[in-house]
Amino acid sequence: MEIKEIQGGVCAPKGFKANGIHCGIRKNKAKRDFALIVSEVRAAAAGVYTSNLVKGAPVVVTKNNLTDGYAQAIICNSGNANTCNADGLEVANEMCRLVTEVGGIPASDVVVASTGVIGQKLDITPMRQHIGELWLGLGDAGEFAAEAIMTTDTVKKSVAVEFMLGGKICRIGAIAKGVGMVCPNMATNLIFITSDVAITSEMLQTALSEDVKTSFNMVSVDGDQSTNDTCCILANGLAGNQLISGKGSAFKSFCAALNYCTVKLSKMIAKDGEGATKLIECRVVGADRKCTAKAVAKSVIKSSLVKAAMFGEDANWGRVLCAIGYAGVKIDVNAVDVSFSSKSGEICVCKGGYGVDFSEEEAKTVLSQDEVTILINLNTGSSSATAWGCDLTYDYVKINGDYRT
């Protein structure tokens, strides 16, 4: 099946409109902070959420609203996570009702999300004052929505693809935010996906739950798992394909197109990690089991020492071995090979658990690129996994040393 990237983000699928404006939650008036995505018809909906026991109020409300498997709109603010607030649920529910007031969409068909500082009250007033403006501006403005959900993100994260199902053109669009507090366990930060595919709520949930295992759940920026992780998908059926209600070939095609979008966003999230100067990909092959490959890939991508070495463009592979060793899974240390690669080439630094001679200069050239792969062969099987992260830099410390003020 051919998957073709197209323009339009979340507005690429038929029947979806979006908008993003500045309503005043953030002090910087140039920064949009209030987003809305709406489907012209009610859509099958599915979600995956943070497994942090401390959950943002919007996570609780969204989960509740999606129990029936349907939704029609997504409302989101940035600048405040609405988490650990006594009136959090009230405010999150009120955000849903704002959509009812301006658009007549039942509050129970609204996905609500918030992102920003934890533990500061979220005032509904600026949103109430600007919901009319937000609604009236709905159109082909997926980019505005992508911008409005950003916090310390430096780039907008948006993608859309087109593919065929039974002769019908289908589309998936998605936006994401997330640069810090990124170490998802169910999904990462905020991801909103739209599609015009006709699919049941059950199969949509199955597709999404499977998908995050190899996409967003394999991303780590700093090992801190957010309280507000929410990944939601709305599929409104307007593409006119035959309804996907089981695990046939149409379902597989849909999953492939979905994974194309989510992996692309995963890499964008990792590369835009707070303070990051480069995307680090850790690809583990030759594992005896999938879970071994995953655990090793995540352990390496999360190591502060590996991340700092990547920033310093230092081929300190001993730290990679070290992180493999404490991954908590059984591996044969004396079978492990490690290479670094980038568009400048590939260099093997460790064979069978021991160092090999290599040119430090050549290694520095490989590591100086803005996308670097750490390739690990466990040489004990045929399972593999890939995780994405970034380097650890002065700017990560700077950004997080005084985030609130």
Query: Which residues are known catalytic residues?
Result: 188
Give the β-pairing of 371-377 and 279-287. Answer: parallel
Beta bridge partners of 107: none
Note whether 385 and 293 are within 8 A (CB): yes
Q: Which is nearer to a copy of itself, 102 or 322 (CB)?
A: 322
Q: How many CA atoms lie within 13 A of 273 on its CB side?
A: 35
- Single residue of 40, 210, 224, 370 touching a copy of itself by CB under 8 A: 224
Backbone angles phi, psi at 40, to 5 degrees: -70, -15
Per CB under 8 A, 363 contacts a copy of itself: no
Contact track, a copy of itself, 87-106, x by CB under 8 A? --------------------
Q: Which is nearer to a copy of itself, 247 or 330 (CB)?
A: 330
Per CB under 8 A, 333 contacts a copy of itself: yes
Note whether 45 and 62 are within 8 A (CB): no
Note whether 36 and 135 are within 8 A (CB): yes
Per CB under 8 A, 397 contacts a copy of itself: yes
Residues in contact with a copy of itself, counted by CB under 8 A, come to a total of: 65
> What minimum distance in Å lies between the beta carbon of 224 and a copy of itself?
5
Backbone angles phi, psi at 303, to 5 degrees: -65, 120
Containing H/E element for 20?
strand 16-21
User: Tokens at residue 217, please?
Assistant: 């759940």
Note whether 52 and 226 are within 8 A (CB): yes
Range in contact with a copy of itself (rule: CB under 8 A) among 94-102, 218-226, 257-265, 339-347 = 218-226
Of residues 39-78, which lie at the interface with a copy of itself (CB under 8 A)?
A: 51-55
> What minimum distance in Å lies between the beta carbon of 313 and a copy of itself?
8
Per CB under 8 A, 222 contacts a copy of itself: yes
Burial letters for 138-151: b for 16+ Cβ neighbours within 10 Å, e otherwise?
Answer: beebbbbbbbbbbb
Q: Which is nearer to a copy of itself, 27 or 29 (CB)?
A: 27
> What minimum distance in Å lies between the beta carbon of 399 and a copy of itself?
8
> What minimum distance in Å lies between the beta carbon of 209 and a copy of itself?
20
> What minimum distance in Å lies between the beta carbon of 120 and a copy of itself?
7
Backbone angles phi, psi at 95, to 5 degrees: -60, -40
Question: Could you give the angle at the alpha carbon of 258 between the alpha carbons of 5 and 50, nearest 5°?
Answer: 130
Note whether 183 and 223 are within 8 A (CB): yes
Contact track, a copy of itself, 168-207, x by CB under 8 A? ------------xx-x-x----------------------
Contact track, a copy of itself, 298-327, x by CB under 8 A? ----xxxx--xx-xx-x-xxxx-xxxxxx-
- Single residue of 72, 77, 82, 83 touching a copy of itself by CB under 8 A: 83
Find how far residue 54's CA is from the centre of its chain.
19
Give how far Cα 304 sits from Cα of 60, 65, 150, 334, 398, Å: 32, 38, 25, 24, 16
Question: Which residues here bind a copy of itself, judged by CB under 8 A?
Answer: 51-55, 81, 83-86, 117-121, 180-181, 183, 185, 222-227, 302-305, 308-309, 311-312, 314, 316-319, 321-326, 330-331, 333, 350, 353-355, 360, 392-394, 396-405
